[in-house]
Amino acid sequence: MHEIGGPLSRRTDHPLYQALQDRVVLGRPDAPDGFHLFAQEYYIALIMAWRSARTLLEWNSGMKAGESPDDAEKARIRKMLDKEGGRDRGIIETKEAKRTVSGKPVLCTDEHLVYHAISYALETGQPTMILSGDNDVASYFRHMIEMMLKHYRAMVIADRYADDPASFKVAPIPAETAGGYFMPADDVQSINLGQLRGYPEPTGGSEPVAISCMTVTPHHVSELIFNAETGMHRVIRVKGETGGLNTDRLDGRNLYAWPALIGVSDRHGVIGTNVMVPANPSGIQIPNLDLAESAMGIQWPPPQPDRD
């Protein structure tokens, strides 16, 4: 409302302006309040972590070292982000730089647009399109889809592990690998995912649903399309009900598939109890590792499980 109220005030006959004046709220009136609200704030916080990656990674480095990062450590983080970043990273950093100079507040309207379009499609099975003239929206769309897909796969793997833990090989991992992300750091397990035959698929009913983001500018038209499964909506519910975990079946522990942790081998996951930290802009407590993974950007495609 804050973002579009100004421009629309010059067209008081516009139906959207009238809707805003009447405080009309479009959404799911029958949806439970609890998990939807937390899941929304969780995924918005992850996008914000991606937007402010350098600041977040410097904070994480300082927390692990017990002191503020020096110039050499800051240079290492900048180099790492420059190496891993692509076109989307450049788009977001350019926007962040302009916002910082202008002093504009962070409204997160683009992030909310993307989250609600995706969650609506997954919950209702209704093919959904975002139409925008802003390249930032397409960048947020791609990143949020990749994060949700990563969390969804971890959730399905956690279901398999909870059903039959003896079929997976687990082993402790070095405390220094888990430090800052799991507690206690010496009670974290590595789980071998190499025996999975392809990516795991959920059991039960799930229907395909197309979610797309079309960007239209005076210079080009582009479209991103994701062929999702309605079963992915369960990860949104799990996130909301557990406070950001990938699973609700491990007694408060979390499972990560192919996490971005130095010291964890390819084709392995991690099981442990998350270190939770406040996340901007909402201040809710969510896993620190989730923020760090989002800030770095999802490795895509992730390591392939064995198919033998």
Task: State the pLDDT at residue 14.
Answer: 81
Task: State the pLDDT at residue 54.
Answer: 67
- How far is the C-alpha of 88 from the C-alpha of 49, rounded, in Å? 14
Task: State the pLDDT at residue 308.
Answer: 45
What is the token pair recorded at 121?
Answer: 């499609």
HSE value, Cβ hemisphere, 13 Å, CA-based, for 285: 7
pTM: 0.79
How confident is residue 187, by pLDDT bands cut at 50, 70 and 90? confident
- How far is the C-alpha of 169 from the C-alpha of 129, rounded, in Å? 42
What is the token pair recorded at 305?
Answer: 């499980």
Examine residue 137 and state whether it is found in any structural domain, yes or no: yes
Distance of CA 89 to the CA centre of its chain: 15
Contact 273, 30 (CB under 8 A): no
Examine residue 24 and state whether it is found in any structural domain, yes or no: no
- Region class of 125: left (phi > 0), else alpha (psi between -120 and 50), else beta: left
- How far is the C-alpha of 254 from the C-alpha of 260, rounded, in Å? 15
Count structural domains, the chain: 1
For 1-47, the pLDDT digits (tens) are 666 666 777 888 888 777 777 765 554 444 445 688 899 999 999 99
Task: State the pLDDT at residue 297.
Answer: 74
- Between 24 and 243, the higher pLDDT residue: 243
Residue written as token pair 């009238």: 18
Examine residue 254 and state whether it is found in any structural domain, yes or no: yes
- How far is the C-alpha of 303 from the C-alpha of 296, rounded, in Å? 16
Contact 17, 8 (CB under 8 A): yes
Examine residue 15 and state whether it is found in any structural domain, yes or no: no
Examine residue 282 and state whether it is found in any structural domain, yes or no: yes
Whether the pLDDT of residue 215 is over 70: the answer is: yes
The CB density around residue 278, as the number of other CB atoms within 10 Å, is 12
- How far is the C-alpha of 58 from the C-alpha of 72, rounded, in Å? 11
- How far is the C-alpha of 82 from the C-alpha of 73, rounded, in Å? 14
- Order of all β-strands in the sheet with 170-172: 170-172, 189-192, 268-272, 254-257
pLDDT cut 70: percent of the chain above it = 75
- Between 71 and 254, the higher pLDDT residue: 254
Task: State the pLDDT at residue 86.
Answer: 58
For 69-106, the pLDDT digits (tens) are 788 877 776 676 666 655 566 566 666 656 555 666 66
- How far is the C-alpha of 246 from the C-alpha of 153, rounded, in Å? 9
For 266-305, the pLDDT digits (tens) are 889 999 999 999 987 778 999 999 998 888 775 544 555 5
Domain extent for 80: 31-296
The greatest distance separating any two alpha carbons of the chain, rounded to the nearest whole angstrom, comes to 65
| 3-state secondary structure at position 3 | helix
Distance of CA 75 to the CA centre of its chain: 26
- How far is the C-alpha of 213 from the C-alpha of 211, rounded, in Å? 7
Examine residue 7 and state whether it is found in any structural domain, yes or no: no
Q: What is the mean pLDDT of residues 160-165?
A: 93
Whether the pLDDT of residue 249 is over 90: the answer is: yes
Examine residue 12 and state whether it is found in any structural domain, yes or no: no
How confident is residue 135, by pLDDT bands cut at 50, 70 and 90? confident
Examine residue 41 and state whether it is found in any structural domain, yes or no: yes
Q: CB-based burial of residue 170 (10 Å sphere; 0-12 exposed, 13-18 middle, 19+ buried)?
A: middle
For 276-285, the pLDDT digits (tens) are 999 877 789 9
What is the token pair recorded at 227?
Answer: 């062929």
